[in-house]
Amino acid sequence: MEITNVTEYQAIAKQKLPKMIYDYYASGAEDEWTLQENREAFARILFRPRILIDVSKIDMTTTILGFKLSMPIMISPTAMQKMAHPDGEYATARAASAAGTIMTLSSWATSSVEEVASTGPGIRFFQLYVYKDRRVVEQLVRRAEKAGFKAIALTVDTPRLGRREADIKNRFVLPQNLTLKNFEGLDLGKMDQANDSGLASYVAGQIDRTLSWKDVKWLQSITTMPILVKGVITAEDSRLAVENGAAGIIVSNHGARQLDYVPATISALEEVVKAARGQIPVFLDGGVRRGTDVFKALALGAAGVFIGRPVVFSLAVAGEAGVSNVLKMLRDEFELTMALSGCNSLADITRNHVVTEADKFGVMPSRL
């Protein structure tokens, strides 16, 4: 069967992967209301395309934290990619590099920062979980920096793991042949079988629940890498991120895997963007499956988007080629959306190109 869009990879991945692994990637927290809403909220945003504009040349390039990218579509951190495919994070890194975009490596990767760096050149960010043992964190940050990673994406929405019922039912645990490679030498690389989710037990034992804004300052003191705060969904926290020296914000609800009944990230985006007042870039993570989604996020003020599940599902189906295809399909769809909306460059995409639920129910903002 020919794959014609990003979503089609999920059903094929479901057939291919063991249930425990597919469920780990696919599921959300509790009722999975936010999981569904991350997608559905995009469907409630409509376009106001402009016509009779010369769109013979479309430029999708952008600069993120000073790095030139081919497009504003980047790869989110997703854990344990070798569960999806033997090449795991290596394949993802190569696909991102070939596409001229950024890969974010998860702390809980099944390949180490050094291994991923060995795949060749590329702009890579490192997602960080703060462990109770700060020496572990310090060592990991130094290793990422030494391996040429360009920024830290600090996950701030996980003092405890969300309740993912599929993982509890499946007694999820990292398969025996794999380890959390970044922690292998520290005896933190293995996950014990538990009477619920093995990952939930691991997080309860290792991840620091005391994490607060002062730790963002501490992180700045141990690295020169810029710090992106991943997991902001309110204006209040957007302001605090700016005040505490964050280099950027990733609006994220952790793929709807942490607190259920938070808004879709696309619904929270504008509030966060307005509060940041243009002082730092704001990115969107969550629910992006179409080029139209990318355009909607940029119209609402995002500097770029991150994709998570499409990467692991396409990786499961076709390895590096699958991830490359997802990036290509999103790129092509986004280019077409720009052309049909009358935009030649990212700078041409404005708030007037979309209409949201808030616009419909509130006072329609004056367009002229």
> What's the alpha-carbon Rg for the chain, to the nearest Å?
20
CA 38 – CA 261 distance, rounded (Å)? 11
Q: What is the rounded distance in angstroms from the CA atom of residue 306 to the CA atom of residue 299?
A: 15
Determine if residue 79 is labeled as part of a ligand binding site: yes
User: Is 77 marked as binding a ligand?
Assistant: yes
Whether 254 is catalytic is yes
- Consecutive H or E run containing 183: none
Which candidate in 124, 254, 290, 331 is catalytic? 254
Distance CA 256, CA 290 (A): 18
Flag whether 308 is marked binding: yes
Q: Is 289 annotated as a binding residue?
A: yes
Half-sphere exposure of 68 (CA within 13 A, CB side): 2
| 155 in a labelled binding site | yes
The answer to whether 252 is a known ligand-binding residue is: yes
The 3-state DSSP class for residue 251 equals strand
Q: How many CB atoms within 10 Å of residue 301?
A: 20
- For 274, residues 6+ apart whose C-beta sits below 8 A from its C-beta are 235, 301
Q: Is 112 annotated as a binding residue?
A: no
The H or E element spanning position 25 is helix 19-26
43 annotated as belonging to a binding site for a ligand: no
Residue 287 marked in a binding site: yes
**SS3 call for 126:** strand
The answer to whether 359 and 270 have CB atoms below 8 angstroms apart is: no
Task: Please give the Cα distance from 229 to 252 (Å, whole number).
Answer: 10
Angle between the N-to-C axes of helices 291-299 and 33-43, in degrees from 0 to 180, rounded to the nearest 10:
80
286 known ligand binder: yes
Which residues belong to the annotated binding site?
24, 77-79, 106, 127, 129, 155, 164, 230, 252, 254, 257, 285-289, 308-309
Which residues belong to the annotated binding site for FMN?
77-79, 106, 127, 155, 230, 252, 285-289, 308-309
Which residues belong to the annotated binding site for glyoxylate?
24, 129, 164, 254, 257
Annotated catalytic residues are 254
